[in-house]
Amino acid sequence: MRILIAEDDSILADGLSRSLRGDGYVVDVVHDGSAADSALQLQSFDLLILDLGLPLMPGLGVLRLLRQRNSPIPVLILTAADTVEQRVQGLDLGADDYMAKPFALSELEARVRALTRRSAGTSTTVLQHKNLSFDLNGRIARIHGQPLELSARETTLLEIFLSRCGRMISKNQFVDLLCEWGEEVTTNAIEVYIHRLRKKLEPSGARIVTVRGLGYCLEPETRGNTLAA
């Protein structure tokens, strides 16, 4: 899951990004509204955390332009001025959630988890596929109920495959989903990560299929992927 943080307070933005990266998200940060609008036009994100008091372009302006482009990305608004009028205006423009500063980091993380689940098209906290399960909150994979040891990259790859079960994903899409701005990951490295993950998933019956020239997909079950609450 890739998140864009648009926050002009560099200390707050740094704290949020470090915390969310620790939870396994790919996080990019901008510090003004103009940069946020440009980033949203050039890159796909699963969530926007948007401060209203941005320089160059206010947060509500960023939100208005985003929805005018018919972008469905979930938006979590942050603001130091928590008034009913601002909340109503933000929600009417298409925001999905609202938090007033100061806020508890644990609450923001919980709201981020809820919004990214919604972005992925599920309200459940555990994804299941054959004998494999994945806890979205704890980001723990299990085979037959036993924890599966995965690296951070492998964990993110597994989450991508499970949330897009049966859908083809190209190597370049994996690069976009795995890498923050300025981070160098080659398509050859993606091949290595997927090879390692494929070997570790073998006992579960889950199969990562390679379609030459197109990419990879997690082979769906005959009766479809199941979800557990």
- The answer, as to whether pTM is greater than 0.75, is no
Q: What is d(CA 78, CA 165) in angstroms, rounded to the nearest whole number?
A: 33
Distance CA(66)–CA(143), nearest Å, equals: 40
Q: Please give the radius of gyration of the chain, using alpha carbons only, rounded to the nearest integer.
A: 18
With beta carbons less than 8 A apart as the criterion, state whether 19 and 105 touch. Answer: yes
CA-nearest of 159, 170, 152, 174 to 129 is 159
Question: What CATH number is attached to the domain comprising 91?
Answer: 3.40.50.2300
**90-110 average pLDDT score:** 89
Q: Domain ends where: 119, 140, 172? A: 119
- pLDDT of 10 higher than 80: yes
C-alpha distances in Å from residue 220, one per residue of 136, 148, 223, 225:
19, 20, 8, 6
Where among 119, 149, 165 does a domain terminate?
Answer: 119
Which amino acid is present at 112? Answer: V
**Number of separate domains in the chain:** 2
Judgement on whether residues 221 and 115 belong to the same structural domain of the protein: no
Residue 161's domain spans which residues? 126-228
One domain, residues 6 and 75: yes
For residues 186 and 71, give the distance between their C-alpha atoms in angstroms, rounded to a whole number: 28
Q: Determine the pLDDT at residue 34.
A: 96
Each as own residue / partner, the long-range contacts of residues 178-181 (CB below 8 Å, 24 or more positions apart, any chain) are 178/26, 178/153, 179/26, 180/26, 180/27, 180/28, 181/28
Is there a single domain that holds both residue 114 and residue 130? no
pLDDT digits (tens, 9 = 90+) for 148-195: 999 888 998 998 898 888 889 888 888 888 777 667 778 888 899 999
Residue 197 shares a structural domain with residue 114? no
